[in-house]
Amino acid sequence: MKKINIHRISVLALCVMILAMVGCKKEPFVSTTSSQVNITGYLEKDPEKFSEWTKILEITGNSGFLQAYGDYTMFAPTNEGVKRYLADMGKTSVEQLDVEELRRVVRFHLLEDTISSRQFGDGKLNTLTMLGQYLITGSSNSGTSGQTNVVINRQANVDLFNVRLGNGYLHVIDNVLRPAKLTVAEMLKANPAEFSIFTEALEATGLYNALNISPVDNPKPDERFLTVIAEPNSVLQAANILSFEDLKTKYNSGNPDLKNPENGVYKYLAYHILLGAKYLADIASAQSHITLTYPEIVQAKFRNREIILDDMEFNGNYEPGVQIVKAKSDVSAINGVLHTVGPYQYNHTYTNGNGDVVTAQGTTNGHFAIKVRVPFPVYWDVADMPETRNSGFFRTGGSTNPPAFRKTSATAPSPVKGWDWPKTGDGFTYQNGVSGGQSAGHAWVFRDYLNLFLGNVASNARQPWIDMKTPVIVRGEYYVWVCWRRKNQSGTWPASDGTTARVRIDGGDPSPKTFAFAEPIPFGDTKTLEQMGWKFYTSTGNPANPWDKIAFPYNQPWQAKNLGLMKIETTGEHTLRMEAIRNSQNANNLDMIHFIPKDWPSQILPRFRPDGTPDFTDYPGTH
Amino acid sequence: MMVFSASSCNKWLDLKPQDGIIREDFWKTKEQLNSAVIGAYSTLLPAGTSGNPGLVWRMLVWGELRADMMGVGMLTSNNELDFWYHEILPNSNLVNWASLYTTINACNTVIQFAPQVPGNDNTLSQEQLNAYLAEMHGLRAMMYFYLLRLWGEVPLQLKASSSDSQIEQLPKSSKEEVYKQIVADLDFAIQYAPESYGAGNLSKDKGRLTQYSVSALQADVYLWGEEYAKCIEACERIENSGKFGLIDGSDPINWFRTLYVDGNSVEGIFEIQFDRQTTNPWFAVLAGDTYRYSAQIVRMDAIFGIPDPATPTVQDIRANGGSYSLGAGGKLWKHAGTSYEGTGLVSANTSDKNWIVYRYADVLLMKAEALAWTNRGQEALDIVNVIRNRAGALAITAEPADPSSAYEVSDYILNERAREFAFEGKRWFDLLRHAKRNNYERKAQVLIDAVAAVAPSDRIEAITNKLRDYRSHYLPIATSELQADKLLEQNPFYKTN
């Protein structure tokens, strides 16, 4: 067709020229200044920069193990950085510092994992420091010079990133990182100008004590780290709460004992405390968060780069939320994080009960309390959990060696919190990109999925069931949709069904319907399919004709089956057991599970794009 | 044929070719000169691999991946992901500039040795020689213009070096010096470049540099340098030639085929020429199941507007089905699709669409931008409307720009350029040109806002803070280059890496 080839003639000549120009050996590529040195060795080699820090490591007895092999990440302050620290402490040499305190400081600079700047974002590093506190990363742009620095824990700038050493990564910083010394409770108390009313209320309800325990001493593992979203006096005053007495007047209901979890004041406060250390980036990246008033939850939205809490639209009503004050948030404590809440200026367009599109504008005062919740749909990306997020492969470009989550014995603890399976060995692998010769690209939502090691055949090593921990689901009745990519590992449907399975929630009755991983979606347009209990849940990826008889055994659409109406008894996280009823295959590739309230306007939409964003258009055509 | 030997290992030091004698043997006839010139163009063509993408592949990545329209697709390397996150490290294979210098060196070689040819072959006229030299100066300028916009300060290698892709031990030149060199090369090129390579030589007229492609490049360079009068002058040279026009968009199927699939249309000014023997990278990179990049769908709605539900078929031809395909997972349809709103994808053999560097619509919009900045806002808006009408732009994307406000008009042009040149490797450069205008008068806000619109929620602060530091708008110099050329200094933003 097009284009006469103009290059053909000359390519030979060119090739010869290029060949001629490659004459000598390549120099070995060295990516850092040292190739096999370990952390201690690297520091010792450069006393002009690190003599003080080296001394600190020696005093605290840490240089030895940092010379050994392992996987560490160290933030190493320069001599100038140590000097700044000494000046702040009012000392002139490191020998004058308290050794115990120094030990704590050093452990705060060390992580037992290899962490490069690739993992630096807006929030905490997913690995705890050896001290047991989280480090946060961020960046700052100083208005005057216009230069941006990467900042660790808001205390030190990074001078040099990613020095790869024999036993880990080293990042050079210009100040010493100071671990938090106060608990969340103590931090609130130390700032009466802002938080006197809130703190008084915490003390009166005994919650102050729950917020005043260091993680190692806390007997409740879920409450080792807690996150407080505190209402400052100004916010409470705007809501006509001028004192703790006013707060009591407003909320003191239920059990009259303020220290009883059924007391209204207690509940109001506990609703401001989230489980876990949740920095703003963590809050922004999940729909909802569990509070101490379990099962009550706080909902979060990320809108115009602000975090809005409890901003809700349901049944044609809109309730504007409150906004986290970024500048006064993300403050680390020994046992968690402190955020401050404030007014939210809203401008929201929605469809009201009459079907009219309306815009609501105004400003909330920042005061918030437990809300009555109606069920809302949960579109659960099953591959999203702290363990996969921490794997280094999470939603990245693909790994040829996908992380497998396995148990070393049937009774060993599960490697995934809240998940379990009965036999030794793999539970599932986390898959993204292309791995193991299997293309994981295509329509997978968030580009990833779980390959479940699930099956029910005697003598087979696959797991007869896998327990999975769901996100927060509000009490109510839901249709449960399993979303997966159909595949027959061998044979053809229906003679071969892959693995047939069903689900149970919290050990309750099994789902009304079962599904099989090799089971194909029937023919039909969106409406017909819905009546039969099927849908296409991805925005793309199904070929124009995903299910024709010719391609019958081979076609592999992304599809979802409605397993029927299931009851969620309490609001909160639940255990969903996927149990194999019969047969077994390798290709059990699960992408999502949807919980959609039974009276929700649509069971079908949205569909989801590979980047996780919703698509509110019907799947086109009849298939 | 010839066997060259290069035995010395001091390649970084040798400014003179080691094979001078043989080279002298080579530059004997005008046919040899011609093949060397063509050879320089063919350095643009290698498709490359994911480990070392070819130049055109890089042009797409460099021009789009840090901006707001193109996201990562299904199979993405960590280097690509880092680029997308603005977490760019000097050891990334995407910050290697070797492919640009390969072409520069091919140009340098011709520029240095071609003047020997007339002494050996008296059938080569001075005019012909100058025309060849003009092409090489123009092509060199194009490569330096990429370098200027991507790295800012780069070494100016203007002599033939002994290695095709590596530069000699040279320090970086300032942005001003690089700009001056580009302008000087183009001044030479515009003096001698031919108007045409003869009737019926469409692929040469679009694939080799002419008066018009040199003018388009000049316009782009002057716009970057904020020399608006000169930009307008260059654009008008193209307009007044009467040789170029816009492909009619009222028949989108024909528009797509003529402009993108067939290529070398009346709209094309400079297109890197692919064919079935030398295919482009897009089959492997954009069309397969493991496509590496895709449209940022959410952003597409904001940029192209959503069609009125009452008239769903009334849509911008440059949106779904033209530039990208929703039905195909947001694949970059312009490059990966075989027909407008179709479902067919290019195959290994048919992935031969040209890479369009300049086309007439670009010239019109560059002129409009220059007009906006020389108090001729209404003329600029008229041009924008020509572009919009051709494409059937949706009314909701029309902006009530005040003709007397240069910023309002040029912001509108920037948005129109996003629609017109989606995924043509221009978006990042467009954003940066607007961001840095008048010495960053608006603090790069236009760039930051665009990138923030697609940044992930747990990295948005890190990304926007980075972009507030203008030094981050330029790439780091690759570690391998720093090690090879000891006179090079890392760009300041990346000194800590």
- The pTM (predicted TM-score) of the whole model is 0.78
C-beta atoms of A285 and B458 within 8 A: yes
DSSP B427-465: HHHHHHHHHHHHHHTTTTHHHHHHHHTTS-TTTHHHHHH
Q: Do B36 and A30 touch (CB under 8 A)?
A: no
By Cβ distance, the residue of A13, A138, A160 closest to B461 is: A138
Structure tokens given for B146: 């990429």
Going by C-alpha positions, the residue among B10, B467, B64, B460 that lies closest to residue B294 is B64
For residue B77, the chain A residues in CB contact (below 8 A) are 397
Q: What is the pLDDT of residues A541-591, one digit of tens each?
A: 655 444 444 445 557 788 999 999 999 988 778 999 999 999 999 889 999
Determine if the peptide bond prior to A471 is cis (ω within 30°).
no
CB atoms within 10 A of CB A190: 11
Chain B nearest-CA distance from A401, in A, is 14
CB-based contact (8 Å) between B458 and chain A?
A: yes
Which residues in chain A are classed under CATH 2.30.180.10?
39-173, 184-363
Among A602, A598, A604, residue whose Cα is nearest residue A568 = A598
Which of A6, A10, A541 shows the shortest C-beta gap to B204?
A6
- How many CB pairs below 8 Å do chains A and B form together? 224
The minimal CB distance from A611 to the residues B71, B78, B164 is found for B71
Tokens coding A590: 């699960």
Closest to A499 measured CA to CA, from A590, A404, A586: A586
Q: pLDDT, tens digit, for every residue of B71-90?
A: 877 667 778 888 988 999 89
- Residue B153 makes CB contacts below 8 A (sequence gap 6+) with B172, B173, B174, B175, B178, B474, B491
| Residues A129-158: tens digit of each pLDDT | 999 999 999 988 876 668 888 999 999 999
Contact A391, A430 (CB under 8 A): yes
**Stretch B367-386: mean pLDDT:** 98
Q: How far is it, in rounded angstroms, from Cα A382 to Cα B223? A: 50
CATH code that applies to domain A184-363 = 2.30.180.10
Nearest CB partner across the interface for B329, out of A172, A443, A544: A443
End-to-end CA distance of chain B: 46
Contact A29 B484 (CB under 8 A): no
Contact check, Cβ <8 Å, B75/A2: no
What would the DSSP string read from start to end of A106-169? HHHTEESS---GGG--SSB-SSPBTTS---BEEEEE-TTT--EEEEETTTEEEEEEEEEETTEE
A56: confidence class by pLDDT, cuts 50, 70, 90? very high
Q: Which residue, B177, B169, B167, B189, is CA-closest to B100?
A: B167
pLDDT band at B291 (very low <50, low <70, confident <90, very high): confident
| Both structure tokens of B229 | 């009068």
**Beta partners for residue A340, in sequence order:** A230
Give the integer Cα–Cα distance in Å for A316 and A309: 19
CA distances from A156 to A165, B13, B432, B494 (A): 22, 41, 30, 17
Residue A442's pLDDT band (boundaries 50, 70, 90)? low
Substitution target in A4, A16, A17, A35 with the highest count of B β-carbons within 10 Å is A17
Query: pLDDT tens digits, residue range B173-198?
Result: 999 999 999 999 999 999 999 999 98
* pLDDT at position A18: 37
**What's the mean pLDDT in A521-543?**
82
Q: Do B74 and A16 touch (CB under 8 A)?
A: no
Sign of CA dihedral A262, A265, A266, A267: positive
pLDDT at residue B408 is higher than 80? yes
Alpha-carbon gap: B465 to the closest alpha carbon of chain A (Å): 6
Strand ranges inside A437-497, DSSP E: 438-439, 448-452, 455-456, 465-469, 476-485
* CB-based contact A3 B273, cutoff 8 Å: yes
Provide the pairing of β-strand A448-452 with A331-333.
unpaired
**Statement: residue A211 has pLDDT above 50:** yes
pLDDT exceeds cutoff 70 at A622? no
Q: How confident is the model at residue B162 (pLDDT cuts 50, 70, 90)?
A: low
Min Cα distance A317 → chain B (Å) is 25
Q: Read off the pLDDT of each residue in B31-48 and give the average, rounded to a whole number.
A: 92
Q: Are B396 and B305 in contact (CB under 8 A)?
A: yes
Q: What is the pLDDT of residue B24?
A: 62
Q: What is the DSSP string of B328-343?
A: GTTB-HHHHBSSTT--
Q: Which of A6, A24, A137 sits opposite B6 (nearest CB)?
A: A24
Residue A384 CA to residue A432 CA, distance in Å, equals 12
Exposed / middle / buried, residue A173 (Cβ in 10 Å: 0-12, 13-18, 19+): buried
A196/chain B closest Cα distance in angstroms: 31
pLDDT at res. B163: 57
Chain B neighbours among A 155-194 (CB < 8 Å)? 158-162, 172
Question: How many angstroms separate the CA atoms of B99 and B178, rounded?
Answer: 18
pLDDT at position A447 is 80
Inter-chain touch A29–B483, beta carbons under 8 Å: yes
- Supply B201's token pair: 């030589």
ipTM of the complex: 0.77
Segment holding A10, helix H or strand E: helix A8-21
If one counts every other C-beta atom within 10 angstroms of the C-beta of residue B405, the result is 13
Chain B within 8 Å of A26 (Cβ-Cβ)? no
Domain with CATH 2.60.120.260 in chain A: 378-615
**Quick one: closest CA in B to A14, which residue?**
B39
- Give the sheet arrangement for strand A156-165, strand by strand: A110-111, A72-77, A168-173, A156-165, A148-152, A137-141
Chain A interface, mutation test: which of B27, B292, B458, most A Cβ atoms within 10 Å?
B458
Q: Which of A136, A126, A75 is nearest to A333 (CA)?
A: A136
DSSP per-residue string spanning B129-192: HHHHHHHHHHHHHHHHHHHHHHHSSB----S--SSSS---S-PPBPHHHHHHHHHHHHHHHHHH
Q: pLDDT-based confidence at B336, cuts 50/70/90?
A: very high
Record: contact B35-A9, CB cut-off 8 A: yes
The hierarchical CATH code for the domain A39-173 is 2.30.180.10
Which residue from B42, B73, B461 is facing A14, i.e. has the nearest CB? B42
Q: In the prediction, which pLDDT does A505 show?
A: 94
Tokens matching residue A203: 């003390």
| Closest Cβ opposite residue A433 in set B42, B75, B466 | B75
Chain A nearest C-alpha distance from B196 (Å):
15
For residue A284, the distance in angstroms to the closest alpha carbon of chain B comes to 6
- Which tokens in the block code for residue B185? 């090369």
Contact A397 B264 (CB under 8 A): no
- pLDDT of res. A544: 43
Closest chain B residue to A15 measured between Cα atoms? Answer: B39
Domains and CATH numbers, chain B: 20-71+88-242+476-494 (1.25.40.390)
Q: Which of residues 80-119 of A touch B (CB under 8 A)?
A: 117-118
Other CB atoms within 10 Å distance of the CB of residue A622:
12
CA distance B103 to B34: 16
Inspect the interface and report whether the beta carbons of B290 and A443 lie closer than 8 Å. Answer: no
Inform me whether the pLDDT recorded for B443 exceeds 80: yes
Between positions 257 and 316 of A, the ones with CB within 8 A of B are: 281-282, 284-285, 302, 305
Q: Exposed, middle or buried by CB within 10 Å (0-12, 13-18, 19+), for B393?
A: buried
B300-334 burial, b at 16+ Cβ within 10 Å, e below that, comes to bebbbbebeeeeeeebbbbbbbbbbbbbbbbbbbb
Q: How many CB atoms lie within 10 A of CB B241?
A: 13
Chain A hits for B41, CB-CB cut-off 8 Å, are: 6-7
Residue A571 Cα, gap to closest chain B Cα (Å): 26
Token pair, residue B314, equals 């009334």
Residue B360, C-beta contacts closer than 8 angstroms, at least 6 positions apart: B238, B244, B245, B246, B266, B267, B268, B269
Q: Which of A21, A148, A161 sits opposite B466 (nearest CB)?
A: A148
Name the residue facing A122 among B9, B458, B480 (closest C-beta): B458
Helix (H) or strand (E) holding A435: strand A434-435
B468/A148 touch (CB, cutoff 8 Å), yes or no: yes
CATH superfamily of A378-615: Galactose-binding domain-like (2.60.120.260)
The residues, ordered by sequence, that sit 6+ positions from B228 with a Cβ below 8 Å of its Cβ are B222, B370, B371, B373, B374
In the numeric block, the tokens 């005008």 are attached to: B30
Residue with the bigger pLDDT between A600 and B188: it is B188
Residues near A197 by beta carbon (within 8 Å), at least 6 away in sequence: A231, A233, A236, A241, A243, A244, A247
Task: Write down the residue that tokens 């959410």 correspond to.
Answer: B298
